Amino acid sequence: MRSAQETIDDYLNELAGRGYAAGTRRLRENYLTEYLHHALTTDGTPLDLTAEELTQPQRATAWYTAAEAGLTRQRNTLHGPQADAAQATQRSRAITYNLFAAWLDQPHRLELPPVTTAEHLDPEDARTLIHNLSVRRPNGANAATTIRTAALAALVATTGRTISDLHQLNTDDLQLNRPQPRLLLEDGPHPLDPQTVRIIRRWLRQRAGITNPLTGTDPGYLWIPTKEGRPRPGHPTPPPGARRAAIRTLHHAHRNLVYNHLGRPLRPGALRPT
């Protein structure tokens, strides 16, 4: 019989094989390690605990309750070491447990707290939002703007960078045809998960349609306007693909489209892994 730790390692390896981002895997590992440590340091727990025993409802509830009260925290906070856990953090714990239990075909699930405004999303919630951005275009929304927003959100989530950090990217920074697709950043290449690659490819197809009139003079900016700007007297308006989209334009599109999906504001930084 494999130990709980060995089974957790198997689960994390499978997530890596399925292309989950490093930040997502790290978050799952942190919470599962915390969960296992809490169980093993509880009186009466056998040292050879199996994963099936670990996921029993009473152990899950005991860990979740202790974490909510701040009793599993390893670091101090602005509100003291015993401060209650943030609701978004508790949601991530519950999602981590539920996904692991489902992988083991165990029936018990922890109840999910609601998503709260302005906090970080769990990677699973972020993946769902990004998917919805990529496949559901609100009435009246520009198709190119919608998929550009989804592509940018996907890169924010998988790289942990801000919109300002990603604003200066060029198409040459994307290496999507490698066995492990990646994005070239200033501090080195960053692997891209399959969902992000699919959405980026869709944006590149939209982008190609916008830049086609440039006939060989495409400067290669990754994020470009999706429509012509307002003309100004005495200044000819350059075609959209000949200039970068402004940071405020990217933020504005994100704000409007995400609000349409969620019914509340959510800053781009909430997509970044904690």
The rounded distance, in Å, linking the Cα atoms of 34 and 31 is: 5
pLDDT tens for each residue of 201-231 = 999 999 999 998 877 778 899 999 998 766 6
Return the closest-CA partner of residue 35 out of 86, 101, 131, 82: 101
CATH number of the domain to which 163 belongs: 1.10.443.10
Domain boundary among 35, 70, 103: 103
203 and 263 share one domain? yes
44 and 86 share one domain? yes
Number of domains in the chain: 2
**Which pLDDT does position 74 carry in this prediction?**
60
pLDDT at 265 over 50: yes
**Which pLDDT does position 241 carry in this prediction?**
79
The rounded distance, in Å, linking the Cα atoms of 107 and 130 is: 28
51 and 81 share one domain? yes
22 is a domain residue: yes
Task: Report CA-CA distances (Å) from 31 to 58, 122, 162.
Answer: 17, 12, 25
Angle at 101 between CA 22 and CA 130, to 5 degrees: 45
Asked if 41 and 62 touch (Cβ cutoff 8 Å), the reply is: no
**Which pLDDT does position 148 carry in this prediction?**
97
pLDDT tens for each residue of 161-182 = 999 999 999 999 999 999 999 9
pLDDT at 79 over 60: no
183 and 74 share one domain? no
pLDDT tens for each residue of 100-154 = 999 999 999 999 887 765 567 888 999 999 999 999 998 888 999 999 999 999 9
132 and 66 share one domain? no
Length of the chain (residues): 274
The boundaries of the domain holding residue 197 are 123-271
